[in-house]
Amino acid sequence: MTPANYFQSYQNYFWQWEDTGEVIAIPKESTIAYRELLGEIIGKLYPQGLPPFGSLLLVMIATNPNGSASLDAVYSIVQQSGSLPKNSETTLAGAIGFLKLLTELPKPYKEGKRRLLLLQALFEQCHNILSLKASAGVQAQYNQRLFENGLQPVPLQDSVFDKDFRPLSILAGKFQSTQEIINRIAALPDTQQYDIKFDETPGDDTPAPKTDLVDELLQSYKTFAVGSLIRWLWSGLNIPVHSTLPSQQPLGGFSDLTNKGDFDKLLVSEFAYDDLLFLSRLANNEALYIHREVPPTHNNLQRLILIDATLKNWGNPKAIAFAIAIAIARHPKTDIGCSVVVLGNTSYHTVSIETIDSIIDAVQIVEEGLHPAHSLEAFLKENKVDSNREVFFITEPSTVKQSALLKVLNEHQQRIHYHIYTDIAGNVDIYKRQGSSKRHVQHILLPLETLWKKPASLKAEQRVQQPGFRVNYPILLKDDASAKVRLAPDGEVFLFTKEQTILRLFDKATERHERGWDLMYFNLPFHSDHCEIGISKNRHHVALIFNSNTRELLLLDLHTAEKKIIPFREWKFTTGPSFIFDDGNFVHSNSAGAWSIATDGTVKRIDTIDSGKFQQRETALQSASKYTWAHSVLKNVTKVFINDGGELVFKLHTLRLVGQSMHIKFMQCRDLTSKATAELNDNNIFVFIDGSSVEVNRSGLLILNSSDKQIPTIYIPTALDSSLGLATDYEFAGNTYYYKEPVYEVILKRIGERKLESVKTLKELANFSLMDAKSMIDNENHAVIFTHCLRQKALAFQKTMTEIGNDVELREIAGSAQLQKITLEEFYKKYLGRYINTILNHGAEADTNR
């Protein structure tokens, strides 16, 4: 390659110049880059040697916002160009696989300066790289706009494909995961820094560092919000970490010379005088003695940290309060003993902060009172506070305005040494008692958004440990058009969504879009396009999800919630499905071989599998797209409140009865004045002042829990611009698309004598293969036929099997009881109206009490 043809475009290729050289784009698809950005990138890369222009463009495509879809378009263009060299499928697959890996990089690495670092890391000494002299010539040509000589496309040659795609195929073998790429970026030298070498050669017997308490807090999703603040507070919190009684010179060394002291402390120079003068100096107290300091003496100071756990200190203020308490008590340099007490509405609780479990228990203490006046007064009366005890009181600033609490603080002002105020925005104000008043010592603004943003690697590790939640809600949801549709061997239809949930089509026998989807699992460890559904030997649906970042398989039994995490380093990107379910096992095949993964997690290498099965699976999955359709769902709810009209508002939408109360919909709300606002707590749940809550499940569901225990939990789908259904655990109203009927587990308990007819019936009615049906009949043990079967289908199967001499049992699955249908007006009045009034009446009572 020479600088003269570096920017040459080609016919029927994946990129072309547009707008007279101002834009490079994929033909009839998206833009790759603008001229200015491309010039900036070339200017950064040419000092290390430029990669082939096509290779550079492919990496830019992969790191663009819609990279995955654009790569699919590139793959299609190259395949259909008709000029693909022979035996080049492996090179193409390797290159596309590596580019797909780049699309999974965290967003910050695909933007701005980090994107430039990524390009430098990938193309350093890459295959087909230009010499430094040639690279400088290309850069000069670009600045002089000589690249315009290549605007007119010429016929595509085989060598062009090899030149552009082979470097990326080689990189696929060099980088196996996104973490390896990130590590390579981190290893790039910074020209603004100097290398400093440290002489550290620990012996072989050096013990491995132990995980301290803060690291443990960071590794638990329950305490991450607290743990992430502690080290930041250590660096900025202006609280003494040592306590000593004053001495004449606590800093050490000689304090002074004196004219009084013991004879053994006389300066040696005094003996140089003659005897008469020496005696005269002693008699007149003029002799000089050494006055040595008295070492500082330690006292037994103890600290008591009192944390408010009443309503206004819920959420962010409470998380910050516990972080401050732990930062004070567990500072690496502190030698002061410390105890923590949580103040409730009427009582107080002494808690431990020595272990992560005790901290989790402490953080979960919440009480519904508006202030801790009674518990604070009880604690101060029951516990002596003397000169050896230092008291910290941590609360939310508006709580101090409560008259009852203000009275207690004034009566006991001499017994509280520090007042610390925290709020929802991360502000921390520290006041120290000074006589009968308080002196403002310090103001801190914690960058919560930055500190509470979990690193990608930590998220993945935590979620593998907490892989999600099996749920059984009494209402169905809308589907997600962007989700991955997977067909189980028994014909059931599942969705794997980008919200890391799994949904199942409730009744595939109905007409399209007549019935909704059952949410089975949410908060999965990760989202991946590499997923599949199989069936275990006990007829349970098993989900396989592959994490290409960590090269691990997650096998999840959707009925028992049993999970297995298995390393699978053999994976390589392939076009079409990465995994299929065949003959009772999951299968992966690539250029290096084929592997089977049993539903129990056993992995073994197998002989090559028929590639036609993967093609058949791809065709089946493409046809399955008919089960989903595009619609809007309310997901990003950042505010929940009740407006002046008494409506419950979710950001900008509210529920309203329309069409003479025949339908209920989310409508745009114009009255955005707030009468009662819910605060977002550390569990990502909106909580009103009375304790009523709203949980937003991003799969498309709102869950309302009232402080009035007589009002059951309310479930509301969040599809916009459509008629909705509403449910509690007992009653349903609205659109029957969302109505969830009871489902049954069907068990074959005893086999009759007409075994041949039983095999045929199983094959026809239960969608069994002939071999599986025969094996089940021959086994003659209790066998599960269906794990999710509607009543009508279950009864029909039971009747047919009983008629040929078999014994079939139906077991209703727990949590799927028949819901009674009522009108929307009745439901709104009975549940939603009472939910809203409970919150508003509490606010009125609180105002009256004040």
* pLDDT one-digit tens code per residue, 67-90: 888 888 888 888 777 656 766 777
pLDDT digits (tens, 9 = 90+) for 360-402: 778 878 777 888 998 898 888 888 767 778 899 999 988 888 8
Name which of 91-95, 601-605, 835-839 the model is least confident about: 91-95
Tell me the two tokens of residue 850.
């004040």
Residues 304 and 261 in one domain: no
Tell me the two tokens of residue 372.
């801790």
**How would you classify the pairing of strands 348-351 and 427-434?**
unpaired
Check: CB of residue 702 under 8 Å from CB of residue 655.
no
Residue 501 lies in a domain: yes
* Chain centre distance of CA 600: 27
Check: CB of residue 469 under 8 Å from CB of residue 454.
no
User: Nearest Cα to 716, choosing from 788, 643, 653?
Assistant: 653
- State the pLDDT confidence band at 250, using cuts at 50, 70 and 90: very low
Residue length, the chain? 850
Q: Could you count the other beta carbons within 10 Å of the beta carbon of residue 538?
A: 12
- Is pLDDT larger for residue 177 or for residue 477? 477
Residue 208 lies in a domain: no
- Last residue within a domain, chosen from 684, 711, 738: 738
Residues 524 and 550 in one domain: yes
Residue 392 lies in a domain: yes
What does the mean pLDDT of the chain come to?
Answer: 81
Check: CB of residue 603 under 8 Å from CB of residue 596.
yes
Instruction: For residue 400, give the CATH number of its domain.
Output: 3.40.50
Phi, psi torsion values for 718, nearest 5 degrees: -115, 25
Q: What is the pLDDT of residue 524?
A: 86
User: Nearest Cα to 341, choosing from 388, 306, 316, 371?
Assistant: 306
Residues 354 and 431 in one domain: yes
Measured distance CA(167)–CA(450) in Å, rounded: 37
Facing residues of 298 across strands? Answer: 244
- Last residue within a domain, chosen from 414, 429, 451: 451
Residues 312 and 401 in one domain: yes
Q: Which domain covers residue 669, as residue numbers?
A: 640-738
Facing residues of 638 across strands? Answer: none
Which residues, in sequence order, are CB contacts of 224 under 8 Å at separation 6+? 217, 218, 452, 454, 462
Measured distance CA(840)–CA(322) in Å, rounded: 31
**How would you classify the pairing of strands 585-590 and 580-582?**
antiparallel
Q: What is the pLDDT of residue 244?
A: 53
Name which of 301-310, 383-392, 413-422, 610-619 the model is least confident about: 383-392
Instruction: For residue 795, give the CATH number of its domain.
Output: 3.30.1390.10
Q: What is the pLDDT of residue 82?
A: 65
Statement: residue 758 has pLDDT above 50 = yes
Residue 210 lies in a domain: no
Measured distance CA(799)–CA(537) in Å, rounded: 25
Which amino acid would we find at residue 604? K
- State the pLDDT confidence band at 203, using cuts at 50, 70 and 90: very low
Average pLDDT over residues 13-19: 86
Collapse the DSSP code of 257 into the 3-class scheme (helix H, G, I; strand E, B; otherwise coil) and give the result. strand
Average pLDDT over residues 613-628: 86
Residue 825 lies in a domain: no
Average pLDDT over residues 196-214: 48
DSSP structure string for 373-402: HHHHHHHHHHS---TTEEEEEEE-GGGGGS
Q: What angle do CA 380, 383, 384 make, to 5 degrees?
A: 100
Q: What is the pLDDT of residue 468?
A: 60
User: Nearest Cα to 553, choosing from 522, 532, 583?
Assistant: 532
Residues 691 and 751 in one domain: no
Residues 590 and 460 in one domain: yes
* Chain centre distance of CA 611: 37
- State the pLDDT confidence band at 771, using cuts at 50, 70 and 90: confident
Q: What's the Cα-to-Cα distance from 223 to each of 214, 447, 466, 697, rounded to whole Å?
A: 10, 17, 14, 21
- Last residue within a domain, chosen from 427, 451, 475: 451
Residues 578 and 679 in one domain: no
Collapse the DSSP code of 156 into the 3-class scheme (helix H, G, I; strand E, B; otherwise coil) and give the result. coil
Measured distance CA(74)–CA(371) in Å, rounded: 63
| Tokens 């197998």, residue located | 606
Residue 220 lies in a domain: no
Residue 802 lies in a domain: yes
Residues 364 and 279 in one domain: no
Q: What is the pLDDT of residue 154?
A: 87
User: Nearest Cα to 528, choosing from 554, 560, 567?
Assistant: 554
- State the pLDDT confidence band at 319, using cuts at 50, 70 and 90: confident
pLDDT digits (tens, 9 = 90+) for 538-587: 788 999 999 888 888 999 988 888 888 889 988 888 888 899 999 889 99
Measured distance CA(723)–CA(744) in Å, rounded: 28
Residues 522 and 436 in one domain: no
Residues 443 and 463 in one domain: no
User: Nearest Cα to 445, choosing from 240, 239, 229?
Assistant: 229
What is the reported pTM?
A: 0.50
Average pLDDT over residues 44-56: 89
Measured distance CA(510)–CA(257) in Å, rounded: 101
DSSP structure string for 315-370: SHHHHHHHHHHHHHHT-TT---EEEEEEE-SS-EEEE--SSHHHHHHHHT-----S
Residue 194 lies in a domain: no
How many domains does one find in the chain?
6
Residues 616 and 517 in one domain: yes
Residues 526 and 440 in one domain: no
Measured distance CA(316)–CA(314) in Å, rounded: 7
